[in-house]
Structure 1
């Protein structure tokens, strides 16, 4: 459990000055930081204001809760009305909007950084009167911002009071029920949170082969579901890897004493492929090959072991793949809505990714390219970076609006500071693997079309989807060829032994 929280003094003082000069009676936003269960310590790097919703209304406002007591006293022919009123300011928070803000900001944070909770700028009395709505908001933000399951189920609630002026911090257990005891006080102090961070960088190359199963043509899963399953399988593959940091094999308990950037390399065991599943030929209609490279950063406290950096990098890799898939699915949903709303473009004119809700059987005979967004890294605080994703057709100009709206910051005017460490992989067109059966049957494809290939999809930073269907008589012929070859070999060995 996190017992002590250290906030980056420079950033939090800037946030306090902005709030005090704003004239607002309340404001809600996200806490960007890092929580360490091993050190029982939390770090707060910055506070990010939640922007107004689509209707232009603020995410947080104050309302008055009025109580009226009426008593009629009967006496003679007259009656007296006694009225007592009590006004108590309560917080009204658009919890869904704050959670959506947390979901999108989480995509921009690298390994070791997370949406660690929320902050609230309000008076002491309104804070005390709004415990329930604050707990609900913290819980919603925690659920929205955690893409991958973690062992840490804590979030922070920072209260900046202007009457009187002070900072307090409470720890909220996400797994617990929302009660008056859900918030536990923890020590909060200002310090140098960013100066204690160490930086680790890794480029991870993946190559997934994901079978497309079907019982009948109407039950084929969507490509999005297949990709999500494949990304989840990468968890097991990453667990089996060994790691090198700056060329040296990692020992879990050791700490990294040197400063600067540390390069991480994962060594995957030979022939390790957790995505392969036993299946019969009748169950599989195709194989989705999803390949590319992910560039990842992670930041840990200098007192934490390097094994924590590896854990954060692995989680960042999986989160990045999941975020790109979510971005594509979100855009496809918006395109579908545009069509349903009577957009000028027709379905045939729109380049859709066919990710959901179900893979259309007719799509299996088409060729379609799916390019996943590239990850770019933008300088943030001190020597740290945050990231964003751009589509192949987009330029770095689109980053400006993202950072202004989501992170309450201006994108760097000089684009040279933005790191584009991921490059687009070439699109794979007609890409075929030679199997034993193709080699065993030495007949040209022109005279005997023994293999039907359908290139369906190029997904990821470079991917392709292939469907192969080999005729039954060719399989039988190949089996007979193999049996005859083995028999002849055994016969030769027998005669050679006899002589």
Structure 2
């Protein structure tokens, strides 16, 4: 059975735009794979690689010298582009393959086809380096290879199995359909709050911010995976379809438009079972410090309406962990000093916050560091997604900047820390107080004892 992929019609116009210029272009296919259907949401051209003499390896610029042939493409460069783009994707969406516009037939020319397979497999391996980024779709190991000829404008798509030995690689034809109307998506919004304290234990080799964040990610992943998801306040069966959930609640009406309309969004809540929130074993450790990890992650996931509840649950959980992994990576890359225990007794770290950017009928995301304006997101969207949007299109209020008032208070209190009694001083104070109290009781008892004798003697003298 031939696999069918659906994408918006503007993707065809996007391909024709570059094919008409008769230039070589390579880029990423972004989409969502569910049991019901394969949906592509966007095609993002990979920026041309700059020479090491003029820029750093991580820089992306789309208006430099064109890459002329497929054989000149760096697999690592395309894979790096895929890693950056994956950070911008909501949960449940992945890099599904690559597209190419060129004059040669990449499926017939042996060297070109070998190069394409190498690029796709390189992306797959690069995505496996960070398990919490969820770079690879867990449901399928197949990736798309879409080609449009610049001379004939013929479109051809095939799928390849990644991660398999070269000799056993299976190539399958794929039917690509463009939808004249915008694809409907079901939006699910979730706000997940973190408020945990993690111990900091410095070993002989030391510990860095990156290592500690990795431990937080591991803990958060276990907690979120064990959580139970409620949609609009109700526990749903995993086999139910999102579209059916709305129909059950929809009031009876004769309006055809009302029957076809999906709810703007569904609210998702994650609850952690009490037994899963406790550690398996309790260990008493001497810590060198602690990290108070606090904040709210805003999650907006877009699912195909015929997706199941189980697929939706996986997408929401992926989104929260992917967002944390993205922020931690960006934050650690921006640090000048990776030392976890600075000279200051209180240290405040604020990872970038999430903003939403429109792509077609749904939203992807970007991250802004403290002090950055929405204009910074425009640069990322242009370079990584090959899209032009305005500053007004960026939704910046899904997450608010961190409140540093509590940190400021802790910072002030740290300066007066030496005024407090140490544990040894406190125990000495209590010991001295105990001796004084015992002496007081002894004196009072002696006075009472002799008081009785004095009273008797006086009573005899007075009687005489």
TM-score in terms of structure 1 length: 0.70
From 116, 121, 125, give the equivalent of 1:139. Answer: 121
Task: Give 1:269 deviation, angstroms.
Answer: 2.4
State the match for 2:169 in structure 1: 181
CA distances 1:272-295 after superposition (whole Å, capped 9, x unpaired): 44678743334x222212111111
Using a 3 Å threshold, how does the CA distance of structure 1 residues 139 and 250 change in structure 2: closer, same or farther?
same
CA distances 1:37-64 after superposition (whole Å, capped 9, x unpaired): x33x4211221111112237657432xx
Using a 3 Å threshold, how does the CA distance of structure 1 residues 399 and 367 change in structure 2: closer, same or farther?
same
State the match for 1:249 in structure 2: 235
| Structure 2, gaps ≥5 residues long | 52-60, 247-261, 412-416, 432-464
C-alpha distance in 2 between matches for 1:22 and 1:194: 27
| Structure 1, gaps ≥5 residues long | 63-89, 333-351, 433-443, 451-470, 479-499
Using a 3 Å threshold, how does the CA distance of structure 1 residues 392 and 2 change in structure 2: closer, same or farther?
farther
Residues 99 and 140 in structure 1, CA contact (< 8 A), matched pair in contact too: yes
Q: How does 1:72-91 map to 2 (within 5 A)?
A: 91=71
C-alpha distance in 2 between matches for 1:23 and 1:447: 75
CA distances 1:288-334 after superposition (whole Å, capped 9, x unpaired): 121111111112222211221121011011010111111112223xx
C-alpha distance in 1 between matches for 2:46 and 2:403: 39
Using a 3 Å threshold, how does the CA distance of structure 1 residues 312 and 446 change in structure 2: closer, same or farther?
same
Aligned alpha-carbon RMSD (Å): 3.2
C-alpha distance in 2 between matches for 1:197 and 1:125: 35
C-alpha distance in 2 between matches for 1:318 and 1:289: 18
Using a 3 Å threshold, how does the CA distance of structure 1 residues 447 and 392 change in structure 2: closer, same or farther?
closer
The alignment status of 1:113 with 2:120, answered yes or no, reads: no
From 26, 29, 32, give the equivalent of 1:28. Answer: 26
C-alpha distance in 2 between matches for 1:29 and 1:368: 41
State the match for 1:240 in structure 2: 226
State the match for 2:355 in structure 1: 376
From 127, 135, 153, give the equivalent of 1:165. Answer: 153
Residues 90 and 300 in structure 2, CA contact (< 8 A), matched pair in contact too: yes
C-alpha distance in 1 between matches for 2:32 and 2:162: 16
State the match for 1:426 in structure 2: 403
How many residue pairs are counted as aligned between the two chains? Answer: 387
From 177, 183, 194, give the equivalent of 1:206. Answer: 194
State the match for 1:197 in structure 2: 185
Using a 3 Å threshold, how does the CA distance of structure 1 residues 277 and 214 change in structure 2: closer, same or farther?
farther
State the match for 2:6 in structure 1: 6
TM-score in terms of structure 2 length: 0.75
Task: Give 1:267 deviation, angstroms.
Answer: 1.5
From 138, 151, 169, give the equivalent of 2:138. Answer: 151
From 281, 285, 288, give the equivalent of 1:285. Answer: 288
State the match for 1:16 in structure 2: 15
Task: Give 1:174 deviation, angstroms.
Answer: 2.1
The alignment status of 1:322 with 2:325, answered yes or no, reads: yes
The alignment status of 1:263 with 2:243, answered yes or no, reads: no
C-alpha distance in 1 between matches for 2:218 and 2:234: 28
C-alpha distance in 2 between matches for 1:22 and 1:407: 20
Residues 46 and 384 in structure 2, CA contact (< 8 A), matched pair in contact too: yes
Residues 209 and 290 in structure 1, CA contact (< 8 A), matched pair in contact too: yes
State the match for 2:383 in structure 1: 405
Residues 325 and 372 in structure 1, CA contact (< 8 A), matched pair in contact too: yes
C-alpha distance in 2 between matches for 1:107 and 1:126: 29
Residues 32 and 40 in structure 2, CA contact (< 8 A), matched pair in contact too: yes
Task: Give 1:121 deviation, angstroms.
Answer: 0.9
Bigger relative CO (Cα 8 Å, ≥ 6 apart)? 2
Task: Give 1:365 deviation, angstroms.
Answer: 4.8
C-alpha distance in 2 between matches for 1:2 and 1:228: 42
Larger Cα-atom Rg:
2
Residues 198 and 301 in structure 1, CA contact (< 8 A), matched pair in contact too: yes
Using a 3 Å threshold, how does the CA distance of structure 1 residues 194 and 293 change in structure 2: closer, same or farther?
farther
Residues 6 and 39 in structure 2, CA contact (< 8 A), matched pair in contact too: yes
C-alpha distance in 2 between matches for 1:128 and 1:472: 83
